[in-house]
């Protein structure tokens, strides 16, 4: 793979250019391939910091807050894809955050979701979604399910989502939440996202919501020709760079920097808690 190398100075300039620093998404990888499992909608709930969701009522009290977020924090910050804007306006973020943070659900900021993880800032969710350039019917792999918010936004675009999470409790809770909300085109797996989802490959797009120190080779191999990956890459505990990588042919890729960001690290330890 041909990746552009960036100097330390370039990384700092990228960070300045991107005025909003992202404080991360849920790291979503696991360890051993034999330990992977696809999570079907659950018949019983699990203990988690976020209640399982039920379909939104017509009198959703957060309509105005969500619209204000879209206008000020999505459109106002440069997101221009009308389909992504509409998806952000439809996705009920308040159903993907813990009860203690519901009143902050439409603040343009990451929030904790338990297990030391976070739900991403809405702007960065919209940005990464826009940069994927997906179309209805596409197949998208997400590495980092978290509470399921990014997967829901993707599903609102009419794509089929395959999402992997390292923490078992988060994977199970997200599967149940997404099912209860009617996102039936989302499949959740508790596994090591580094290896992707080989039996469902290839994918038209791959989105990674935690930062490895290098681009995982198995994920590159699971992109279709012409497919796009959006991924933050960089050292743990420091700023990373957000990359859009397009597969040109079987052996060649074109990489473009989208600026400096800060994500939680891409972990490789399966957790069943």
Three-state DSSP at 255 gives strand
120 burial via Cβ count (<10 Å: 0-12, 13-18, 19+): buried
Among 232, 184, 226, which Cα is nearest to 204's? 226
Q: Tell me the two tokens of residue 116.
A: 């030391």
Rounded Cα–Cα distance for residues 92 and 122 (Å) = 11
Distance CA 246, CA 224 (A): 9
Check 120, 147, 179, 255 and give the catalytic one. Answer: 120
Cα–Cα dist 227/224, whole Å: 5
Q: Is 19 exposed, middle or buried (0-12, 13-18, 19+ CB in 10 A)?
A: exposed
Q: Supply the angle between the helices 82-90 and 122-132 in degrees, to the nearest 10.
A: 140
Contacts 24+ apart (CB under 8 A), 256-259: 257/4, 257/6, 257/14, 258/18, 258/127, 258/131, 258/230, 259/14, 259/15, 259/17, 259/18
CA distance linking residue 185 with residue 197, whole number of Å: 16
Dihedral over Cα of 218, 219, 222, 223: its sign: negative
Q: Does the active-site annotation cover 120?
A: yes
* Residues tagged active-site: 120
């Amino acid at each position: 793979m041909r990746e552009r190398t960036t100097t330390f100075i370039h990384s700092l300039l990228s960070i300045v250019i991107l005025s909003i620093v992202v404080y991360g998404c849920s790291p979503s990888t696991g360890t051993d391939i034999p330990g992977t499992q696809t999570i079907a909608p659950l018949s019983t709930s699990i203990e988690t910091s976020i209640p399982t969701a039920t379909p939104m009522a017509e009198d959703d009290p957060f309509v105005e807050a969500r619209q204000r977020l879209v206008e000020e924090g999505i459109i106002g910050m440069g997101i221009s894809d009308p389909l992504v804007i509409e998806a952000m306006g439809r996705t009920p973020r308040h159903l993907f955050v813990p009860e203690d943070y519901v009143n902050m659900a439409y603040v343009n900021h990451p929030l904790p979701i338990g297990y030391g993880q976070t739900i991403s800032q809405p702007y960065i969710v919209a940005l990464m979604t826009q940069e994927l350039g997906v179309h209805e019917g596409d197949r998208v792999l997400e590495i980092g399910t978290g509470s399921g918010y990014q997967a829901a936004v993707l599903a609102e675009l009419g794509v089929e989502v395959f999402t992997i999470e390292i923490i078992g409790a988060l994977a199970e809770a997200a599967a149940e939440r997404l099912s209860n909300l009617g996102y039936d085109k989302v499949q959740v797996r508790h596994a090591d996202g580094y290896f992707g989802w080989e039996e469902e490959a290839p994918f038209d797009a791959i989105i990674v919501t935690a930062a490895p120190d290098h681009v995982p080779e198995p994920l590159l191999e699971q992109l279709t020709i012409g497919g796009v990956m959006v991924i933050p890459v960089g050292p743990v505990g420091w700023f990373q760079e957000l990359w859009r990588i397009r597969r040109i042919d079987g052996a060649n890729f074109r990489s473009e920097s989208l600026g400096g960001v800060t994500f939680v690290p891409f972990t490789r330890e399966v957790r069943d808690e």
